[in-house]
Amino acid sequence: MDDARFEPLPPSHGVRTLAGTEHTLANEVPLAITINGVNHAVMMVSPVQLDAFITGFLLSEGIIAHHRDIHDLEFSREHNALIAAVTLANRCHQPWLQQKRSLAGRSGCGICGLESLQAALPELPGLPETPLPDTHMLAGLRDQLRPWQPLNRDCGALHAAFFVDYQGNIHHASEDVGRHNALDKLLGWQHQQSERPEGMVLLTSRCSIELVQKMVRSHNPTLLTLSAPTQLAVEQARHYRLNLIHLPYQQSPRVYAASAHSQLK
């Protein structure tokens, strides 16, 4: 990152309502991503953990296989927008050009706007069978979440993704106005570690097919969500052997998809 040119934008702003009360609102900014000098996408993001977001976004889009495929990453600011200039390894550049698609900038659905069903529902390599976590341990996860969400605590309206070990301890969290972005930031953090941590991913948002695809592409076998999944997400999770578990409020965990029936102890 070129620190001499990059001026980060604040993740939140204080705003006064018409009634005269002061409130803190989350910041949402356009981030233009260029790959080897070619425009790729404009995403609306919360301006925090941006290097992890770029890594996770490129991984979950299938553009790179490892964070080392990014040879250089520079951020710059243009008024209230950010620009990320990515230099990819040659082995990733040509395949990316062949499947390049145009993304409309948004913080919502990651599939709407694709040009073909094949692009929206690609056939991905399945995950290896992974035992389900101990569902009794999962029941206490909600109580751990608040300290890991400082932006949501101050602003509200932000999604979060958490990395949880198999003993039920949270090790990292990412926040963003977009649920896909929050997951990409977490995946980027995971892949940037010197030794990739193994565990589970917990999302505060509903689970749709795009999030299942991101889990499969990043080789993460267990997804926990605070909101119920869609029917297509469940079908895809079962197809790819992704453990998919919903953690309802004040109710027992619901297992919608499982690749193996034994539980971790």
Residue 6 maps to a domain:
no
Q: Does 62 share its domain with 155?
A: no
pLDDT at 2: 42
Structure tokens at 53: 């977001």
Question: pLDDT band at 119, cuts 50/70/90?
Answer: low
* pLDDT of 84 above 60: yes
Residue 125 maps to a domain:
no
pLDDT at 103: 47
Q: Does 153 share its domain with 224?
A: yes
Distances 130 to 113, 198, 226 between C-alpha atoms, Å: 33, 11, 21
Q: pLDDT exceeding 90 applies to what percent of the chain? A: 63
* pLDDT of 130 above 80: yes
Question: Across residues 54-82, what is the average pLDDT?
Answer: 93
* 24, 153 Cβ separation under 8 angstroms: no
* pLDDT of 190 above 50: yes
> CA–CA separation, 109 vs 167, rounded Å?
32
Q: Does 40 share its domain with 99?
A: yes
pLDDT at 183: 97
pLDDT at 26: 84
Q: Which residues pair with 17 in a beta bridge?
A: none
3-class DSSP state of 43: strand
Question: Across residues 100-115, what is the average pLDDT?
Answer: 50
> CA–CA separation, 106 vs 63, rounded Å?
19
pLDDT at 29: 93
Q: Does 205 share its domain with 91?
A: no
What is the residue-wise DSSP string for 115-156?
A: S-HHHHS---PPPPP-PBP-HHHHTTSGGGSGGG-HHHHHH-
Question: Across residues 60-76, what is the average pLDDT?
Answer: 94
User: For residue 55, what are the contacts with CB-CB under 8 A and spacing of at least 6?
Assistant: 64, 67, 70, 187, 188, 191, 192
Q: Does 77 share its domain with 18?
A: yes
* pLDDT of 160 above 80: yes
> CA–CA separation, 116 vs 166, rounded Å?
38
pLDDT at 151: 87
Task: Looking at the chain, list the stretches that DSSP marks H as alpha helix, in order from N- to C-terminal side.
Answer: 50-60, 90-98, 117-120, 135-138, 150-155, 179-192, 209-217, 231-239
Q: Does 252 share its domain with 172?
A: yes
Q: Does 99 share its domain with 174?
A: no
User: For residue 61, what are the contacts with CB-CB under 8 A and spacing of at least 6?
Assistant: 217
pLDDT at 113: 46
Question: pLDDT band at 70, cuts 50/70/90?
Answer: very high
Q: Which residues pair with 41 in a beta bridge?
A: 33, 103
Q: Does 145 share its domain with 105?
A: no
Give the residue from 153, 38, 132 showing the smallest Cα distance to 84: 38
* pLDDT of 104 above 50: no
Q: Name the average pLDDT for the chain.
A: 86
> CA–CA separation, 137 vs 165, rounded Å?
11
**Three-state secondary structure of 162-177:** EEECCCCCEEEEEEEC
The set of catalytic residues is 109
Residue 193 maps to a domain:
yes
Question: Across residues 130-159, what is the average pLDDT?
Answer: 88
Residue 3 maps to a domain:
no
Q: Does 173 share its domain with 81?
A: no
195-208 pLDDT, tens per residue? 999 999 999 988 99
Structure tokens at 7: 């001026």
CATH of the domain at 34: 3.10.20.10
Highest mean pLDDT among 96-100, 150-154, 233-237: 233-237
Q: Which residues pair with 176 in a beta bridge?
A: 159
* pLDDT of 51 above 90: yes
Residue 235: which domain range?
Answer: 135-257
Q: Does 92 share its domain with 25?
A: yes
Question: Across residues 96-116, what is the average pLDDT?
Answer: 55
Q: Does 114 share its domain with 85?
A: yes
CATH of the domain at 180: 3.40.140.10
- Count of domains observed in the chain: 2
- The lowest-confidence range among 19-23, 64-68, 72-76 is 19-23
Question: pLDDT band at 8, cuts 50/70/90?
Answer: low
> CA–CA separation, 192 vs 61, rounded Å?
17
Question: pLDDT band at 157, cuts 50/70/90?
Answer: confident
* pLDDT of 181 above 70: yes
